[in-house]
Chains A and B, each alone.
Chain A
């Protein structure tokens, strides 16, 4: 069985590297995307299992990407973890994301949580399929 796909949408080189390492350790196949336009293109092409989403991005803002994901039936099962430095924006989008992590995001925390969230989701889908 192939690894679940995680898109890391983050314009900061350091953070995207740290997040990708954490998610790799959590057994995800990782793709890093640095700007919003590219992210939108990619989201149209693939169905990721998990997206870590920065809100302040070049070209297309994270908020629009979140709307796109939540509005696309194809991406219904995609988990979205918002990683942002903007605490006010984080509060307003809290309901639309599966999880909001306020920067600085801990490497250990992201690794453990992404794993936990994905497992929980997988269990729920499996349970639903039984009915």
Chain B
């Protein structure tokens, strides 16, 4: 089910629950009022009727007694006074009628309050009618001049009637009163029940909405959490991640898209890896081919160089100065060609990633000897001074890669000698601080303009076209030096200005040789 649909349903559900709760509340409230009205109306009316009945009965009795007294006094008067007394009796009789009518009316009302009250109502009504008849009988007896015992009897009858009916009446009043109280208790209980019912409904509503919200929240947060974890896994380098959601909502569609993306990334990574492997293979092939080519080039280059040098040295007879000059050109160009072969070979190995750094014990003097062996002749032939120095702070042995150090020195010194026409070229070993050692190659050459400092370490770059033509070279030397220095955790800096020579300083972390032994004398040169 859609999350949107779920949210809408959730909202509708809450609204429905609110409506139901309110409706139930309203219903129970109304019910309570109705019940209160129904119950208390009947019992209150019964109580009222009973009170009226009692009052009317008392009034009837009072009227009857009054009539009897008036008639008793009238025995001793005649003429106008008698007339007046009889008129008074007539009035009292009217009153008696009214009281009886009241009793009849209220008993009828009382009778209607409950079917249970019918018997008592009839009884009271009958008693009242009896009292009325007895009162009439009393008047009739008086008018007929009956005296004494018969009137007394009538009085007693009256009292009997009243005594007969009054206990029932009192009892009924008490009952009605009790019923009213019971009603109040019942209404109060109903009100409590209604409150309790409302509370239960409220709790149920809270539970339903709470449970629904919890499910909805889990429906939203669980997929988000899963997707987040998957994204983090991809970030950590595992693109093969698939998110599995067992729903059919928007998140399932998002997970589907996510999985498609992950698959696409995996495919792309695989094809990149394959392409990379192909490139790597091609690079290795190129390096191998260059190694073979360079090997095959070196032997004839050696022959050209050797023969030219022999001719120049007069091995085959003396050479005049003009011949010497051209032999020098042959030697110079052969060296240039050799340098280029060397550099291309190293660069192709760097590209193929086959250059390894082998850290081992290195005698620092051997660096100077290497420079002496390889560059002294070249310096002498250009009439340049080659100054070699190791500062005392540099230890006799340290840990480094001798072959790479030789390549670095070869390129830096070769460059210095190539670009310096007079003065000196120097190589100095020193320690700039307690944890580093450095090779400094300086010259008194033309210097390098400031704007060239930035790109001079890039492949195939030289200071300018003119220099390139004049000095030849591949423009690879400094780039290779920088790559090797970086591989050995070192750093290369250049300090140079036009007309003030150039100083290249290569700094390496100083690793002392813990198991250093004195240099073996018999191994004269590396």
Contact = CB atoms under 8 A, between A and B. Distances in A.
Interface string A92-131: 0010001110111111110011000100110010000000
A20 to B, nearest CB: 11
Given A85-B294, A99-B526, A109-B374, A15 B302 contact: yes
Interface in B330-388: 334, 338, 342, 345, 373-374, 376-377
Contacts of B303: 12, 14-15, 18, 104
Given A88-B291, A94-B526, A103-B301, A109 B306 contact: no
Interface of B: 291, 294-296, 298-299, 301-307, 309-310, 313, 315, 334, 338, 342, 345, 373-374, 376-377, 402-403, 521-526
Interface of A: 12, 14-15, 18-19, 21-22, 25, 85-88, 91, 94, 98-100, 102-109, 112-113, 117, 120-121, 124
Contact of A98 (B304, B334, B523): B523
Nearest to B331: A106
Q: Which applies to chain B's interface (DSSP): helix, strand, loop or mixed?
A: helix
A117 B309 CA distance: 21
Given A12-B299, A94-B526, A124-B522, A105 B306 contact: yes
Given A18-B309, A104-B304, 19 more contacts: A18-B303, A18-B306, A21-B310, A85-B296, A85-B299, A86-B295, A98-B525, A103-B298, A103-B299, A104-B299, A104-B338, A105-B305, A106-B309, A106-B377, A107-B306, A107-B310, A107-B313, A108-B309, A108-B377
B306 A14 contact: yes
A120 B305 CA distance: 27
Contact of A117 (B291, B294, B377, B525): B525
A109 B377 contact: yes
B310 A18 contact: yes
Nearest to A89: B295
A15 B301 CA distance: 10
A107 to B, nearest CB: 4
A106 B305 contact: yes
B280 to A, nearest CB: 19
Contacts of A19: 306
Interface of A is mostly: helix
Nearest to B354: A88
Contacts of A91: 403
B382 to A, nearest CB: 13
A124 B520 CA distance: 11
Nearest to B295: A85
26 contacts: A12-B302, A14-B302, A14-B306, A18-B307, A18-B309, A21-B310, A25-B315, A85-B294, A86-B295, A87-B294, A87-B345, A94-B526, A99-B526, A102-B298, A102-B342, A104-B298, A104-B299, A104-B302, A104-B304, A104-B305, A104-B334, A105-B306, A106-B306, A107-B310, A113-B373, A120-B525
A94 B377 contact: no
A113 B315 CA distance: 18
Nearest to B403: A91
B310 A103 contact: no
A99 to B, nearest CB: 5
A86 B341 CA distance: 12
A22 B312 CA distance: 13
B240 to A, nearest CB: 39
Nearest to A97: B526
B298 A121 contact: no
Contact of A15 (B299, B342, B345): B299
Nearest to B410: A102
